[in-house]
Structure 1
Amino acid sequence: MSDRTAVVLLTRDLRVHDHPALATACAAFDRVVPLFVLDPALTALSPNRTRFLHQSLAELREALRERGGDLVIRRGDPVAETIRLAREVHAEGIGLSADVSRHAHRRQERLRAECERHRLFLRLFPGLTIVDPGALRPTGGDHYRVFSPYFRAWQGVALREELAAPERVRLPDGIDPGRLPAPPKGDSPDAAPGGERVAQRRLTGWLPTLKRYDDIHDDMAGDETSRLSPYLRFGCLSPLSVANRAGGRDGPFVRQLCWRDFYYQVTDAFPEISGVAYRRGATEEWREDGEALTAWAEGRTGMPIVDAGMRQLRAEGWMHNRARLITAGHLTKTLRLDWRPGVKVFSRWLLDGDVANNSGNWQWVAGTGNDSRPYRGFNPVRQAERYDPVGAYVRRWVPELASVEGKAIHQPWRLPPEVRRTLDYPPPLEVPGADPVWLR
């Protein structure tokens, strides 16, 4: 009897631990082909994420080789390359972790059609979230639109069992694994490296801080948040395993993981989330001001806490979550510019930039999304004084203001003119038609 073979198409699940598609295939088939297709349509979107991706793929290849297998690399259209390889190795079927973005939906639909045409079976697996996007539905609806009731339902659902990494992975004979290029240079010099081993070390090193999470997660200068989001975005860590190691589902950190699940189920039901207002009847009266948008993106608004966040983004490919709220609120609620270019700027730089969380959070801040208080604002001065009280975060990322003492670092318009003339720092952007002293 000939060996039975399956292909596992990897996308945003670059790990061997708690990988339902990989574990199931290795248990059910004699030979398994872990495949990643470098899609030019995606790798061109963000140099930072492309670098992180290549580093993660290199670690995954090493982990699979340690188990007797390999990571097979192909380039081109993921559907065409997957079908081509499946036919080459005489596979019976293909396994894939289900995803929620519009691009992922289209890829899954195309792959399903091609599998039917070539008499291959396709099975979608969980693994990108803790609770599957479609598992929880409110009475009379297809998904939860408000977080609090979703969180209550999420806390009570039974979770799947966490899976061990396969002990052995056997490839078909004679298969060419393909070459993985060296990681390209990203645009952020201080960006974190990718990979499952890096992710596991970071998680283990951070867990002792967990008991203080509620006190420290908004401390912008302290910088003691987990920074696990890029590893969750690429699946270097299983979100279920992170939640299990973080204890029960009542803690503030696990609540943040639930927010991630929440936006995945929103995006699964509303794949247009990156470009279409989620909230029906949302007011969208945005200004057009290219210079203001550029100044915001480059950290030159003249509002120190906003500029600090945007400069951290460029330097690290990451931004403190409180800074994300402040910078997004400044663009949409203060400068009154459209949230969609903001989504694209964040997506361009963020290592953790994925459709569901990036777009979902932008819409929440802009008042077009899932926020039950769509007209809330984020006064940057009050936010800075509360979450960066001594200005350490601003001084770290806006060195022009390093010598400014006290609260003046958050209120630069109060500096004496002779002091301001010594600073290589712009005055706060003024919004046409608005009170020029809106911040005071």
Structure 2
Amino acid sequence: MAADADSDSAAHRHDDANLPFASFSFSLSLRTPAVPTALASVPSTIHLPTQISTLAVCLHPSGSASSSPRRSGRLNAAASSLLSPFPASTPGLSRSFPSGAPAAAGRRRTLVWFRADLRLHDHEPLHAAVGASSSLLPVFVFDPRDFGKSPSGFDRTGPYRANFLLDSVADLRRSLRARGGDLVVRVGRPEVVIPELARAAGVEAVYAHGEVSRDECRSEERVSKAIEKEGLEVKYFWGSTLYHLDDLPFRLDDMPSNYGGFREAVKGLDVRKVLDAPEEVKCVPMKNVLEPGEIPTLSELGLTAPPAMAQDSKPAVGSTIIGGEAEALERLKKFATECSMQPNKADKNNTGDSIYGANFSCKISPWLATGCLSPRFMYEELKKHATRAITSGSTPNNCDGTSDAGTNWLMFELMWRDFFRFITKKYSSAQKTSEVAPATGCTPTPVLA
């Protein structure tokens, strides 16, 4: 009996010893969600998402009965912020958030650098940033080097193209503001402007679309070096072609140097699904920190406004074209609808007016070139309005004479565009230039039945 009593007494003492720890742990788990409210009055210059996330991590696994847990939490949070420039990657951070909540967003700020991708639909850097960040800083930079003279004495960017670009940037800003965000606009060298904005806004990553030409790739390298010196992440995405670079059935170095070989290689290749435009864009608070900036005028870019009328008193070419994603989507919708209602473009007996215009063109190239329109989105829209399926690798002629030859012809042109961009990417590396054969456009002429 005495032994049993001693055993019961020991068990009670053991249970009593555990009670304070259990009570303390339960208390902390109840108070943790209230931390953001308690810190709501902290000045806006402090990175609230970073400190809140780190503080939650420090408090949640803590099992010690410290006499000053709140003070200890602040010290640990500060130390963790100094040691880790990416709190989102701190081990165990996801445990601070309920399952299914935006914990995976990492609670960090991301700068999205818009370039030749002036749209919200099918924009992978923007889509990835929305999913990986608590707030964004959309930025567009007018690089003065793009508006000077080339070594040959020609304008790098003419007044009509520059005016189209200004329209497109203004439209992008309107679209972002309609979703609760904004677009920061600056004039300067990206390798200087981007790091300055990153420091001012306290961002921890820079996302952008990669380009293909030598000058654009060099610009990316300069920006990457400047960003990495700040200890920030920089990531480039591929998104300017119908087919994704990672989906090609060959290494870029082994890409066929003629269009015929390229078309055969990608025949039947799937086109990736279009990414929807975000319904909401939460931007970094800019009040008292950053000014959105004004979109420059042509004269501020060193250009003279082009004449609205040509010498023959007719509207000058390019003077009536409006840039921007909204205009691009409207034109594509109209073109796709009319295309499905018109006779076959390849029909020799077709003598009626054509929607392709005097130059037999859909005239959507300017919006594709500035990224106001995604080639994948264009492909999807054409498929919706076609009465028979558009197949990848198809020729511009349907032997049965159906009216879908027009949409297949557009697919054919988009593939040519892909070929030129991929081949430019292949040759844009100076180290590879001497190792590859010259590119040609040689391909068998399709027989029109």
TM-fit CA distance, 1:38: 0.6
1:190-201 aligned within 5 A? 190-191=317-318, 192-201=321-330
Counterpart of 2:296?
A: 181
Describe the superposition over 1:378-414 as per-residue Cα deviations: whole angstroms up to 9, x where unpaired.
xxxxxxxxxxxxxxxxxxxxxxxxxxxxxxxxxxxxx
Contact 1:99 1:105 in 2 (8 A): yes
How far residue 164 of structure 1 moved from its aligned partner, in angstroms, is: 0.9
What is the CA-CA distance between 1:226 and the residue it aligns to?
A: 1.0
Q: Say if 2:377 is the partner of 1:241.
A: yes
Query: Are 1:372 and 2:423 an aligned pair?
Result: no
Decide whether the 8 Å contact of 1:277 with 1:369 is kept in 2: no
Task: After superposition, give the CA deviation of every residue in 1:325-358 in whole Å (9 maximum; x if it has no partner).
Answer: xxxxxxxxxxxxxxxxxxxxxxxxxxxxxxxxxx
CA drift at 1:224: 4.8
Counterpart amino acid of 1:222? A
Q: In 2, Cα distance between the equivalents of 1:81 and 1:25?
A: 20
Distance (Å, rounded) in 2 between the aligned partners of 1:110 and 1:71: 22
1:213–1:225 CA contact under 8 A, matched in 2: no
The yes-or-no answer on 1:73 pairing with 2:185 is yes
What does the per-residue CA deviation read over 1:286-340, in whole Å, with 9 as the maximum and x for residues that have no partner? xxxxxxxxxxxxxxxxxxxxxxxxxxxxxxxxxxxxxxxxxxxxxxxxxxxxxxx
For the pair 1:260 / 2:375, whether they are aligned, the reply is no
Relative to 1, partners in 2 of residues 1:28 and 1:201: Cα closer, same or farther, differing over 3 Å? same
Question: Does the 8 Å contact 1:67/1:167 carry over to 2?
Answer: yes
Larger deviation, residues 153-162 vs 10-19: 153-162
Matched, 1:9 2:129: no
* Aligned positions of 1:159-174 closer than 5 A: 159-173=271-285, 174=287
State whether residues 253 and 426 of structure 2, in contact with CA within 8 Å, keep that contact through their aligned partners in structure 1.
no
Distance 1:33-1:220 versus aligned 2 partners, 3 A rule: closer
1:255 is displaced (CA, Å) by 1.0
Q: In the aligned structure 2, how far is the partner of 1:182 from the partner of 1:132?
A: 35
Question: How many aligned residue pairs are there?
Answer: 286
Aligned to 1:345: none
Q: CA deviation at 1:244?
A: 1.2
**Counterpart Cα distance in 2 of 1:140 and 1:164:** 28
Does structure 2 retain, via aligned residues, the 8 Å contact 1:36–1:71? yes
Q: Distance in 1 between matches of 2:330 and 2:339?
A: 15
Structure 1 residue 35 and structure 2 residue 192: aligned?
no
Q: Percent identity?
A: 30
Structure ID, larger Rg? 2
- 3-state SS of paired residue (2:231): coil
Structure 2 vs 1, CA of residues 163 and 213 (structure 1 numbering), >3 Å: closer, same or farther?
A: farther
1:112 aligns to what?
Answer: 224
2:95: which partner in 1? Answer: none
Pick the aligned partner of 1:205 from 299, 317, 334. Answer: 334
Judge conservation of contact 2:355–2:362 (CA < 8 Å) in 1: no
Q: Deviations over 1:37-73 (max 9, x none)?
A: 0111113422111100000011111000000111100
Aligned to 2:264: 152
The answer as to 2:206 corresponding to 1:86 is no
Within the candidate set 37, 49, 58, 2:170 is matched to 58
1:8 corresponds to which letter in structure 2? V
Structure 2: distance between partners of 1:219 and 1:65: 34
SS at match of 1:246: helix
Distance 1:139 1:21 in 2: 23
1:53-94 CA-partner distances (Å, limit 9, x unpaired): 000011111000000111100111012111111111111110
**Structure-2 change in CA distance of 1:55 and 1:156 (3 Å):** same
Partner of 1:435: none
2:378, 2:356 → 1: CA distance?
23
1:12 counterpart letter in structure 2: A
After superposition, the Cα gap between the structure-2 partners of 1:206 and 1:113, relative to the gap in structure 1 and judged at 3 Å, is same
**Which aligned pairs between 1:346-385 and structure 2 lie closer than 5 A?**
369-372=439-442
Q: Note closer, same or farther for the CA distance 1:94–1:279 as it changes in structure 2 (3 Å cut).
A: closer
* SS of equivalent to 2:270: coil
Find the aligned partners of 1:126 and 1:214 in 2 and give their Cα distance: 34
TM-score (norm. length: structure 2): 0.58
Secondary structure of 2:425's aligned partner: helix
Counterparts of 2:275 and 2:136, CA distance in 1 = 17
Aligned residue type for 1:370: T
- Alpha-carbon distance between aligned partners in 1 of 2:419 and 2:160, rounded to the nearest angstrom: 26
The 10-residue stretch of structure 1 (118-127 or 256-265) with the greater mean CA deviation from structure 2 = 118-127
Query: Structure 1 CA distance, aligned partners of 2:371 and 2:326?
Result: 12
1:19 aligns with 2:148: no
Show the 5 A alignment for 1:298-317. none
Contact 2:333–2:381 (CA under 8 A) maintained in structure 1: no
